[in-house]
Amino acid sequence: MKRVLTYGTFDLLHHGHIRLLKRAKALGDYLVVAVSTDEFNAGKGKTSYHDYETRKEILESIRFVDEVIPESSWEQKLDDVKGHGIDIVVMGDDWADSDRFDYLEEYCELVFLPRTEGVSTSEIKEDLGGAG
Ligand code: C2G
């Protein structure tokens, strides 16, 4: 039973998110998604359109998502890997150069998948005339 973990805000869910989640699940048997809390986002200067509970509800309805947990700090990732018996952490490759994940390589496999070009939550907001 290979267990996969990924992190994200997943606001205004779009096909870029879905394709990431689908590929992440395909790497194992069980997919845990850690969704950023509203407080964590505020700390990053981000405000999502949907609040945490709504983003969690939407993700839990996706058939290849097995479990959704809160992401409330940058520092929780190692606890998440150990606490959930994670074999692989998967992120889009916009995170490949970040130092937020590389230390996990001692504890689990780390996979960065190509992002889906041409779509992002901020672009959707801009296209709809909202704040970026
Ligand atoms: N993603 C993608 N293609 C897109 C947009 C997003 O593959 N067109 C991926 C991102 O690379 C990320 C995941 O979908 O792996 C979630 O993206 P966001 O909701 O934008 O999450 P992010 O703001 O990157 O937060 O601690 C890590 C953060 O929580 C990640």
Sheet holding 3-8, edge to edge: 67-71, 30-36, 3-8, 88-92, 109-113
Q: What is the mean pLDDT of the chain?
A: 96
Cα separation, 83 vs 79, in Å, equals: 6
Give the pair of three-digit tokens for residue 104.
């996990």
Residues enclosing ligand 1, CB less than 6 A? 7-10, 16-17, 20, 36, 71, 91-92, 94, 115-116, 119-120
* Catalytic pick among 25, 46, 56, 125: 46
b/e string for 92-119 if b means 16 or more Cβ within 10 A? beebeeeeebeebeeebebbbbebbeee
- Residue 130 pLDDT exceeds 90: no
47-91: pLDDT as tens digits: 999 999 999 999 999 999 999 999 999 999 999 999 999 999 999
Q: What is the pLDDT of residue 123?
A: 95
